[in-house]
Structure 1
Amino acid sequence: MDTHTSQDAFSPNTASTRLHRALRVRMCEGDFSPGDVISIRRVAAEYGTSAMPAREAIRWLVTEGALVFSDSRKIIVPELSRERFHEVLFARKSLETQVSRQAFTHITTDDIDELRRIDTEIDEAIEQSDLLGYMRGNYRFHFHIYRRSHSRVLLPIVESLWLQYGPSMRYICTRWGASTIADDYHREVTQALSRGDIEAFCHAIAADIEQGMQLLHQVE
């Protein structure tokens, strides 16, 4: 699993920071659902660490708003209201389109080949109704592009939005079904990149995020 984030260049390589990065990626990928209880002991056991790094990583996620205390003893993945989730998607559309525009000139033919490979895996996950496979591939596809922007300002903000987006999108896709995702905007992204068409590329990124908004409207 790719656990690289924009924070890597600025964080010490300790057990707690490595665990924090791994948990951040899992949350962005939809490994957790709203309402899930996060256990320090269980996280420590899963990653083979002591309780201290797990506690520090989880507290960091609480500070970032990715997790919340439901009472003095329980840490959970928060539920986003419909209105707040819509705001997250609106912010994603604006910021990720700009990050993509900044990334455009840094994307190579090797990057395009990798994006096509990831998109093939996403298509296979959708055909198999593999929700987690779809969400993991979707995260890898988008952030393969966004990291090429080398933005120290916008990229961390985009990552924070995905921390809020991932668990709620997991819930929505569970209700709606990964196999019903109809439009392959990722293919439009790679085709625009191959043509060198920056406007079509940015439009496809925005349309892909719009699809998330359409999914939201399917859930009562």
Structure 2
Amino acid sequence: MKPTDRPDDHAAPTQQDAIYARLRQWITVGRFLPGERLKIRTVAAEMGVGQMPVRAALQRLAAEGALVNVPNAGVAVPRLSLPEFDDLLQMRMLLEGEAAERGAARLDAAGLQALAAMSERMGQALAAGDADAYLGDNEDFHVMLYRAAGSPLLFQLIDTLWLKAGPVSNQLFETPEATGVLNDAHTDVVKALQRRDPAGVRRAVEKDIFVAGQFLRRRLQAASR
């Protein structure tokens, strides 16, 4: 340690990075809703940390477009217009379909077994009405499949889209007819993997995004009237 160093000189950035990563993940899985204002004091209390690193993390997320600055009111989760939502949906199908097909060609037997277990747990979570459990396994399912593609750049682009999609995606659980079909595509992914059919995996992922997107689009249309 250099004489000018203090024990906490390197701890603060590490804590800030961890808080940023956790908040980013919360946004990605839809823990916050579109239009919701994020109060620094409330978020800090929920995370059990100080307000300063939370403020820094929220501003970092606002700079990335995951949040928006509201004059005299801190930050909030952005709302998507219909054209923005349609563009997001199309880009997700394009990029995630590509990652799914590449990942399917490279996934090993242990990976397939893990995805099958996650799909089963997602079905159980939907039956129990446990949105948090479903969203957690859903994220892990897609992360594992897409990372298997072996393209960090492709995954980074997808991760950026998830930041924008997460808040609106959480509203699927306010649509009763959606919960009955949300896991169908994951079952199709597992079956296609078992057949060694990467193109089939791509179609299943595209179907997953498209079907969920139609439920969400109808909600956005109704809200915009």
TM-score, normalised to structure 1, is 0.86
Q: Quote the RMSD (CA, aligned, Å).
A: 2.0
In the aligned structure 2, how far is the partner of 1:127 from the partner of 1:211?
19
Q: Which residue number in structure 1 is paired with residue 105 of structure 2?
A: 105
Deviations 1:137-183, CA, capped at 9 Å, x for gaps: 22221112112223222211111111111101112432455533266
1:1-220 correspondence to structure 2 within 5 Å: 14-176=14-176, 178-181=178-181, 184-219=184-219, 220=222
Distance of 2:109 and 2:54 partners within structure 1: 39
* Percent of residue pairs bearing the same amino acid type: 30
User: Do 1:122 and 1:138's aligned partners in 2 also have CA atoms closer than 8 Å?
Assistant: yes
Partners of 1:178 and 1:28 in 2: how far apart? Answer: 19
* Structure 2 letter corresponding to 1:48: G
* Contact map agreement 2:172 2:178 (CA 8 A) in 1: no
> Normalising to structure 2: TM-score of the pair?
0.85
Which sits farther off after the overlay, 42-51 or 136-145? Answer: 42-51
After superposition, the Cα gap between the structure-2 partners of 1:208 and 1:182, relative to the gap in structure 1 and judged at 3 Å, is closer
Q: Deviations over 1:81-138 (max 9, x none)?
A: 1221121111000001111223223311111111111111111121122233322222
Which ranges in structure 1 are unaligned for 5 or more consecutive residues?
Answer: 1-11
Task: Confirm or deny: 8 A CA contact 2:100 2:198 kept in the other structure.
Answer: no
Supply the distance in 2 between the matched residues of 1:170 and 1:190 (Cα, whole angstroms): 24
Distance 1:48 1:127 in 2: 32
Q: Distance in 1 between matches of 2:209 and 2:56?
A: 32
Q: Distance in 1 between matches of 2:117 and 2:51?
A: 38
- Amino acid in the other structure paired with 1:60: R
SS in 1 for 2:72: coil
